[in-house]
Chains A and B, each alone.
Chain A
């Protein structure tokens, strides 16, 4: 150690320079009352081209709608671990009055924070825990997933569909089931083979998982991942692809089918407005196709007119309530009847779904 002071200083200088990923933006300078502070916690970067991009679009929508009445902040790339508690504490200390957490893994920390800070409104996406000041919000993505599955089934020649899946949790399992049922509607006997990545967002891993399915012989591929890397793998071999969360056409326009997309903006606006008005109440919001919370992305150019017509017709049936994908008869992977003819799954059943429907290849408990 020749010059300890020198390298200590250089290290501190270098470390100090590296910034952390938080951004605050104010719509316009506040008037007398001052704007309400609203914060979002993201699991990925706002530029993931999928899930977090969609949430951030919602945040920007709030700014646009409420203007100077709100000041928004977001924290991106927050890991689903103990760090999230610290992030929430920081946001509360900064004076945020309403905090949206946008990944399942943030739920426990949000619940604890809600108990510790009764004067702050907490909103947890895709979870199930509730408190007087902790609300839940998500939507019937499975309805749109079914339509996406129809597109994949129609595009597949052999009926062998691959699915790159993040975590074996109910939200993903019902997504895969809906895709499989949709695919079987347009391609009787179609199978959906699942590979678990154990990550929401990691383009390299997602691509590897997609390549493993493609090399195993699937001829159409879908995803529950947050990046377009699955499409990048499919593009190299010209296999039809459906995305997730956002319109990802630009990443592979030739093979793009469609995707389940979320429109978070109106919900966020409503909730922030309620917080301003003092009318905010806890609850569990489950949006759907009818109220525009979920939808499918514009069709790709390779989706046939017939398939588009069939999907649009089914979409109307889902909206009107004349069709529900999780209505009996439904069999599980072993062929045992899970939902008899004439009955259908209730919301509580699908929020805890832990079994795959017939035709799904893979383990619902994960890899």
Chain B
């Protein structure tokens, strides 16, 4: 009996593989939301990341690791530039964040900027030249159970495992992290403390963009073999739901991302083992669970202890203090 082919290991492995792009995007969105900026443009930013990563991978020549690192960097930068639109509208111009974020997804997403870039770059119809392959770490890839889960993942998965503790440390243990939380909870107080509210909101909206871009790059460099319009197919929305599901905490975003990642392929895994359940059930589970969590978060107790940053989505205007 091959332990690594057992149902649980297979499900866990696919949870990690398909949860990773969600993890990048939701940690990014979480940081932006912690600073008080709700950005519904995640899907659009991910697609801009996906297309620019794919373009870089097709045009840059060199060893795999150089090209892939450059592609991820380009994806992060392109998505950061995209998120700048939202930052300007939401922070400087104090526009409605929901409208601005939605507009960003419509503008940059499927049938928008990312598709346009894919078309003018002639990305379609060619196999990708570089991809994130699973790395057999320390030769332990075949170890029972832990092998496929821990020691046989691609570089972006390992990067995401560094990202989560880093984000936790930053938010909970550093002075800038404290400031971010202050800016998100009570910008007036933060302002009075001498924290530059606008600067914090800008920086974290941009970090959110960069991480969404990396999540998008995962789709075009690890999942899909070719460029396809709208290839994230809603992952950006799941990432936003995930932030709520994770109570705005990076450690819970990790759990949630893997849970939602598992749902995305569970129907197929069961079908291949003669268990027939409608795939629609699994596809809707992330949203159903988010609704349950939303209900829970709305209760008084949870609102005080676990809820959304108090000033989430509220533009800060100093004159109105």
Give the docked Cα–Cα distance between A48 and B225 (Å). Answer: 10
Complex Cα spacing A120 to B265, Å: 44
When chains A and B are docked, how far (Å) is the Cα of A2 from the Cα of B100?
Answer: 14
Smallest distance from the beta carbon of A15 to chain B beta carbons, Å? 6
Contact partner of A7 among B10, B99, B113, B271, CB < 8 A? Answer: B99
Residues of A within 8 A of B (CB): 1-3, 6-7, 10-11, 14-15, 17-21, 45-49, 53, 77, 162, 193, 195-198, 201-205, 207-209, 211-213, 215-217, 227-229, 231-232, 236, 250-252, 361, 363, 367
Contact call B265/A211, Cβ cutoff below 8 A: yes
Contact B103 A11 (CB under 8 A): yes
In the complex, the 4 A-B pairs of residues with the closest C-beta atoms, listed nearest first:
A47-B124, A18-B112, A7-B95, A232-B225
**Residue contact A47 to B125, C-beta cutoff 8 Å:** yes
Check B127–A208 contact: CB distance below 8 A. Answer: no
B58-88 vs A, Cβ < 8 Å mask (1 yes, 0 no): 0000000000000000000000000001000
Query: Across the interface, which residues of A come within 8 angstroms of B219, CB to CB?
Result: 204
Cβ-defined contact, A227 with B225, below 8 A: yes
Do residues A10 and B127 form an inter-chain contact, with CB atoms below 8 A? Answer: no
For residue B137, give the distance in angstroms from its CB to the closest CB of chain A. 16
Number of A-B contacts defined by CB within 8 Å: 153
Candidate in A196, A198, A228, A232 with the most chain B CB atoms within 10 angstroms: A232
Q: Contact at A2–B225, with CB atoms within 8 Å?
A: no
Which residues in A have their C-beta under 8 angstroms from that of B85? Answer: 14
Residue pair B226, A6 in contact (C-beta under 8 Å): no
Within 8 A of A (CB), among B229-288: 229, 231, 233, 264-265, 267-269, 271-274, 276-279
Q: In the complex, which residues of chain A have a beta carbon less than 8 angstroms from the beta carbon of B5?
A: 215-217
A204 proximity list for chain B (CB < 8 A): 18, 219, 223-224, 231, 233, 264
Q: Which residues of A contact B126 (CB under 8 A)?
A: 250
User: Given A6-B93, A18-B112: A251 and B99 within 8 A (CB)?
Assistant: no
> Is the Cβ of B103 less than 8 Å from the Cβ of A14?
yes
Does residue B315 face the partner (Cβ distance < 8 Å to A)? yes
Q: How far apart are the CA atoms of A193 and B233 in the complex, in Å? A: 27
Whether A195 pairs with B106 at a CB distance below 8 angstroms is no
Query: Residue of B at shortest CB range from A1?
Result: B96
Whether B96 contacts A7 by the Cβ 8 Å rule is yes
Give the residues in chain B near A53, CB-CB below 8 Å.
125
B125 and A49 contact, CB distance less than 8 A: yes
A143 to B102, CA, bound (A): 48
B111 at the binding interface (Cβ < 8 Å): yes
Q: A208-B265, A228-B127 are in contact. Are A7 and B272 (CB under 8 A)?
A: no
Complex contacts, B269 vs chain A, CB 8 Å: 208, 212, 215
Do residues B268 and A2 form an inter-chain contact, with CB atoms below 8 A?
no
Given contacts A7-B89, A7-B99, contact A2 B223 (CB under 8 A): no
Taken together as a complex, chains A and B put the C-alpha atoms of A252 and B93 apart, in Å, by: 50
Question: B312 to chain A: which residues have CB within 8 Å?
Answer: none
Residues of A within 8 A of B10 (CB): 212, 215
Does B104 have its Cβ within 8 Å of any Cβ on chain A?
Answer: yes
Q: How far is the CB of B54 from chain A (nearest CB, A)?
A: 12
* B89→A195 contact, CB < 8 A: no
The interface residues of chain A lying within 8 Å CB-to-CB of B112 are 17-19
User: Contacts A6-B93, A236-B133 given: A367-B271 contact, CB under 8 Å?
Assistant: yes
Contact B106 A18 (CB under 8 A): yes
- Cross-chain contact A203 with B273 (CB below 8 angstroms): no
A132 CB, min distance to chain B CBs, angstroms: 36
Cβ of B302 under 8 Å from chain A: no
Give the nearest-CB partner of A15 in chain B.
B106
Residues of B close to A211: CB separation below 8 A: 14, 265, 268
Interface residues of B in 8-35 (CB under 8 A from A): 10, 14, 18
Can you add 8 more A-B contacts, CB < 8 Å, to A15-B106, A49-B125, A228-B127? A2-B315, A21-B111, A195-B271, A195-B272, A203-B228, A227-B224, A227-B225, A251-B225
CB distance from A167 to the nearest CB of B (A): 12
Complex CA distance for A257 and B229, rounded to whole angstroms: 27
Chain A nearest CB from B287 CB (Å) reads 17
Q: How long is the Cα–Cα vector from A212 to B269 in the complex, in angstroms?
A: 5
User: Within 8 Å CB of A363, what residues of B?
Assistant: 276
- Asked if B225 contacts A15 (CB within 8 A), the reply is no
Assess the A367–B225 pair: CB atoms within 8 A.
no
Instruction: Determine the residue in chain B with the shortest Cβ distance to A205.
Output: B268
The 29 sampled A-B contact pairs (Cβ below 8 Å) are: A2-B317, A3-B93, A3-B94, A3-B95, A7-B89, A7-B95, A7-B100, A10-B103, A14-B104, A17-B112, A18-B107, A18-B113, A19-B112, A47-B228, A77-B229, A203-B231, A204-B223, A209-B268, A215-B5, A216-B5, A216-B273, A227-B224, A228-B225, A229-B224, A229-B225, A232-B225, A250-B126, A251-B225, A252-B225
Which of B14, B100, B115 contacts A208, CB < 8 Å?
B14
B195 within 8 A of A: no
Is the CB–CB distance between B228 and A14 below 8 Å? no
For residue A7, which residues in chain B have a CB less than 8 angstroms away from its CB?
Answer: 89, 93, 95-96, 99-100
With a CB–CB cut-off of 8 A, which chain B residues contact A250?
A: 126-127
A14 to B99, CA, bound (A): 11
